[in-house]
Amino acid sequence: MARSSAALRSPPVPVRNQAEWESVGRPDCAPIPSVGARSDEKPVPTFSDRARPPKAPAGGFASGPDQNADTTGLLGTRVERERRRGRGTLSNASGRYEPVARIAFDDGWRSLDDLPAFKTTVTTDATRKIITRNDSPDISFDRSINPYRGCEHGCVYCYARPTHAYLGLSPGLDFESKLFVKPDAPELLERELSAPGYEPRTIAIGTNTDPYQPIERRYQVMRRILEVLDKAGHPVGIVTKSALVLRDLDILARMAKRNLVRVALSVTTLDSEIARSMEPRASTPSRRLEALRQLSAAGVPASVMVAPIIPAINDAEIERILDAGAAAGVKGAGHVILRLPLEVRDLFREWLMANYPDRYRHVMKLVRDMRGGKDYDSTWGKRMTGAGPYAWMIGRRFELACDKFGLNKNRRSLTTEHFRPPRPGAQQLSLFEA
């Protein structure tokens, strides 16, 4: 049978500066003695021989000159192609908060071949609050709703992947196969909107995981949330990359007449082959453009998001995507530069090496050029747009294309004037109303 070993993670080693950090894993480290070596032949320990600071575990890429090496096969975190067919990432390493790292290995009986494929499982998330607040200065909303945890779309670049580590799961294949649904979200929303002192502002949905991912067909949590918002007259902004949004066109059109909704669809590429590899279970680019066309025709304010922009992969398509969006009738557009926080960095590198080995070094160099020499910079105001000449060029191209195609000419804020606090079904009538 297949076996797994659990190795305790070493504690992080204090580092004094960036140069010392980069020295970890350099090829000039003293070699590990071979089996049978005499004890008096052991090399003098160096800084690199001590326990390495733990990195995002999903790819096992080292720093320094050997950073291009793909070591996931040796680490036992990579999953065979047949077991992950239709998934975005290639590996399923333990989350960063786990005290052990589990590694699969063959015991000599070829039993790894008998392991089952990754199947989507859905677990109920018994959350007690549904509106999440934030005070980030570089985003346009202060509250959001996530009907699901994890996302079956499997986008390899998804910056929400690290959140699965909070659940003790892997940001890799677990994120796209072990999903959590919040079936009580509409009732919780109704209760929170009716709370004394609640002040309405636009609620964002789809900013973390996609509310219209495939399991929404079965659970219909998003539709029931929209029904609550429509009844209460509460504004909402939706971001998705699924044509399933058209299922709720009746509610969206009704809300649009009162200026209560806007919808943005992310179109990463017009190349179906790239899309299939990068976001395997999301709607095809053509279906997303058709969804934008139907939303616009129904009077729903719609925008096209060129997101994420990945240098040397899809950045050449910026103008074509905006042109296609304008032809579909949208009036707004936005863009976001590739973000690689925590485990996403190694998951993306792994995917890039497997699919575009010839572009690997060039892509990562451009990414670092936009992030101050790092793979990612989470600084507010820079994390979405990047910095430096290449990021400026992308931003300028986007602005010129928007001017050319008549996008972002008029921006209208959603209104809160129609808001009326709902009356939850379980609310007890007062004695005066009895």
pLDDT digits (tens, 9 = 90+) for 136-183: 988 989 999 999 999 999 999 999 999 999 999 999 999 999 999 999
Residue 18, H or E segment: helix 18-22
Contact yes or no for 286/246 (Cβ under 8 A): no
Angle at 133 (CA atoms; ends 182, 181), nearest 5 degrees: 10
Dist CA 428 CA 425 (whole Å): 8
For residue 136, with 0-12 CB atoms within 10 Å meaning exposed, 13-18 middle and 19 or more buried, which class applies? exposed
Q: Shortest CA distance to 79 belongs to which of 4, 184, 160?
A: 4
Residue 78: phi and psi, rounded to 5, are -75, 145
Q: How many residues does the chain have?
A: 434
Cα–Cα nearest to 305, from 279, 278, 320, 325? 325
* Local confidence band at 423 (pLDDT 50, 70, 90 cut-offs): confident
- Which three-class secondary structure string do you get for 247-294? HHHHHHHHHHCCCCEEEEEECCCCCHHHHHHHCCCCCCHHHHHHHHHH
Q: Is the dihedral of CA 355, 356, 360, 364 positive or negative?
A: negative
The DSSP 8-state label assigned to residue 15 in this structure reads -
Separation CA 39–CA 349 (nearest Å): 39
Residues spanned by the domain of 218: 126-405
CA distance 254 to 325: 23
Selection from 310, 288, 280, 339 nearest residue 158 by Cα = 339
At 368, which helix (H) or strand (E)? helix 360-369
Buried/exposed code over 182-196 (b: 16+ C-beta within 10 A; e: otherwise): bebbbebbbbbbeee
pTM, to two decimals: 0.80
Q: Taking 80 as the threshold, does the pLDDT of residue 424 lie above it?
A: no
The verdict on residue 87 lying in a domain is no
- In three-state secondary structure terms, 42 is coil
Do 319 and 397 meet the contact criterion of CB atoms below 8 Å apart?
Answer: yes
252 part of a folded domain? yes
Query: Is 60 exceeded by the pLDDT of residue 130?
Result: yes
Residue 64 domain-assigned? no
* pLDDT confidence of residue 55: 42
Q: Is residue 108 part of a domain?
A: no
Tell me how crowded residue 174 is: count the other CB atoms within 10 A of its CB. 23
Name the maximum alpha-carbon separation found in the chain: 90
Q: pLDDT by residue (tens digit) across 65-103?
A: 444 444 444 345 778 877 888 899 999 988 889 888 777
Q: Is residue 113 part of a domain?
A: no
Residues linked to residue 261 through DSSP beta bridges, in sequence order = 236
Cα distances (angstroms) measured from residue 177 to each of 41, 206, 213, 214, 242: 49, 18, 12, 11, 18
pLDDT at site 42: 45
- Report the DSSP beta bridge partners of residue 5: 103
pLDDT in tens, 301-320: 999 999 999 999 999 999 99
CATH of the domain at 287: 3.20.20.70
Query: What integer best gives the mean pLDDT of the chain?
Result: 84
Note whether residue 289 is domain-resident.
yes
314 occurs within a structural domain: yes
Residues 179 and 124: their CA atoms lie apart, in Å, by 9
227-259 as b/e, with b when 16 or more CB fall inside 10 Å? Answer: ebbbebbbbbbbbbbbbbbbbbbebbebbbeeb
Please, which pLDDT band fits residue 112 given cuts at 50, 70 and 90? low
33: amino acid identity, one letter: P
Checking if the pLDDT of 274 tops 50, the result is yes
Count each helix (H run) and each strand (E run) in the chain, helices first. 13, 12
Q: What percent of the chain has pLDDT over 90?
A: 69
* Residue 368 half-sphere exposure toward CB, CA atoms < 13 A: 10
Distance CA 116, CA 269 (A): 32
Taking alpha carbons only, the member of 196, 411, 199 closest to residue 303 is 411
Query: How far apart are alpha carbons 343 and 352 in whole angstroms?
Result: 14
Tokens of residue 227, six digits: 């029904």
Work out how many domains the chain is built from and give that number: 1
% of the chain at pLDDT higher than 70:
78
| Residue 137 in domain | yes
From the list 246, 241, 302, the residue with the least C-alpha distance to 275 is 241
